[in-house]
Chain A
Amino acid sequence: MAAVGIVVVSHSRPLADAAVELARQMLPNSTLAIEVAAGTDDGGLGTDAVAVSTAITAADSGDGVVVLMDLGSAVMSAETALELLDDDVRARVVLSAAPLVEGLVGAAVVAAGGADRDRVAAEALRGLAPKQAHLG
């Protein structure tokens, strides 16, 4: 079983924490690593690429990391964070274009089930499918 880690990058710490809470509700008793890098260090809105790289390192057990993010600087900070990582860690990281909340819930469920990194990343990208199917 793989132990893929997940990182949530957001402008807002409360937004990221709430998204993680929503995902964890689906994972009773799971020890899945979900790390958050969100907000500025003075509690404001913003992203910090150094914090993102620290979160990726913390979430990485060697089986890879999937990074979910909100918009704007979250995307560029996640890309910049990759530059700050060692080559071997960087090679294990996937930055996901999935919508943050839906992607996180989908990714967390399969990651907690022991799926490998590519499967977790694919599930994140499928995150909008249930809502799209329902709304038609």
Chain B
Amino acid sequence: MATLDTDALGAWVREYARAVTEHRDELTELDSAIGDADHGTNMHRGMTAAVAALDATPPADGAALLKTVAMTMISKVGGTSGPLYGTLFLRMSGALDDGSPAAFAAAFRAGVEGVVARGKAELQDKTMVDALLPAADALTEAVGAGQELDVALRAAADAAARGRDSVTPLVARKGRASYLGERSADHVDPGAESAVLLVEAAAATLGRS
């Protein structure tokens, strides 16, 4: 059975840093339409610092790795995505257990619930939660049904993308975008987009563990 150890989780984090850097301008552009135009820059700064922190002090285990990522995001991102993604990784770190697929699915859910609690966002508020909650549901369901991890993570990534797309027509009810009211409709939410990248990065790396 796949075990999500330090190497596997490190590959996930590094792939997410690479994806965030590749999509930096796109994320910032999405955020300039309905926010404060810093999401790509902030996520790039945070994830680059997270990878540097892992390089500087190799973590002892998977939980320590996720905690390093959490503390770096909390400290370095600057915007709201810092506390939000930081809380996601921090709660995951506390719930990782033995790193089995079932434990990973439970840890991811704990992380997503941490984001919900921190941001106080609900489904259809047009935030990262609209990508993360469906992904957590799909992952839990697929792993619970005995699917291989790569299949389960693919389902989670697809659910995240569908969740992101489902709220694109809506008016934002949280964050800076909510200041814009009706003008936020028909724009892709930048937080939902970066959340899709996170789950895609998991499917691209952890599914192969």
Chain A positions near chain B (C-beta within 8 angstroms): 11, 40-41, 44-51, 72-73, 76-77, 79-80, 83-84
Find out whether the CB atom of B175 lies under 8 angstroms from the CB atom of A40.
no
Distance between A112 CB and nearest chain B CB, rounded to angstroms? 31
Which residues 153-175 in B have Cβ within 8 Å of A in the complex?
175
- Asked if A49 and B78 make an inter-chain contact with CB atoms under 8 angstroms apart, the answer reads no
B residues less than 8 Å from A77 (CB atoms): 74, 82-83
Number of interchain pairs (Cβ within 8 Å): 60
Q: Once the chains bind, are B82 and A47 in contact (CB under 8 Å)?
A: yes
Known: A73-B83, A76-B118. A48 touches B76 (CB 8 A): yes
Q: How far is the CA of A73 from the CA of B84 in the complex (A)?
A: 9
Q: How far is the CA of A76 from the CA of B175 in the complex (A)?
A: 11
- Interface assignment of B90: CB less than 8 Å from any CB of chain A: yes
Query: Can you name 10 extra interface pairs (CB under 8 A) apart from A72-B80, A76-B84?
Result: A40-B45, A40-B78, A45-B78, A46-B77, A48-B78, A49-B82, A77-B82, A77-B83, A79-B83, A80-B74
Tell me if B176 is interfacial: C-beta within 8 Å of chain A.
Answer: yes
B78 in contact with A73 (CB, 8 Å): yes
B80 touching A51, Cβ below 8 Å: no
Known: A73-B80, A76-B119, A80-B74. A46 touches B42 (CB 8 A): yes
CB pair B79 A73 closer than 8 Å:
yes
Set of chain B residues within 8 Å of A44, measured between Cβ atoms: 78
Who on chain A is nearest to B42 by CB? A46
14 examples of A-B residue contacts, CB within 8 angstroms: A11-B78, A41-B76, A44-B78, A46-B42, A46-B78, A48-B74, A48-B82, A49-B75, A50-B74, A72-B80, A73-B78, A76-B119, A77-B82, A80-B74
Beta-carbon contacts under 8 Å, B78-120 to A: 78-84, 86-87, 90, 118-119
Closest 10 interchain pairs by CB?
A46-B78, A76-B83, A73-B80, A80-B83, A50-B75, A40-B78, A49-B74, A73-B79, A48-B75, A77-B83
| Closest CB in chain A relative to B66 CB, distance in Å | 15
Given contacts A46-B42, A49-B75, A80-B118, contact A72 B82 (CB under 8 A): no
Centre residue among A73, A77, A84 by max chain B CB count within 10 A: A73
With both beta carbons as reference points, the residue of chain B lying nearest to A40 in the complex is identified as B78
A51 touches B79 (CB 8 A): no
Take A73-B83, A76-B119 as given contacts and tell me if A51 and B75 are in contact as well, using a CB distance cutoff of 8 Å.
yes
B34 to chain A, nearest CB (A): 14
Q: Is the CB of B176 within 8 A of A80?
A: no
A41 to B78: give the CA distance in the assembly, Å: 9
The chain A residue with its CB closest to the CB of B114 is A83
CB distance from A14 to the nearest CB of B (A): 15
A104 to chain B, nearest CB (A): 22
- Contact status A73-B90, CB under 8 Å: no
Q: Does B71 contact A (CB under 8 A)?
A: yes
Cβ contact within 8 Å between A47 and B175: no
Task: Give bound CA distance, A50 to B49, whole Å.
Answer: 14
- With A49-B83, A49-B86 already in contact, the answer to whether A40 and B119 are too (CB < 8 A) is no
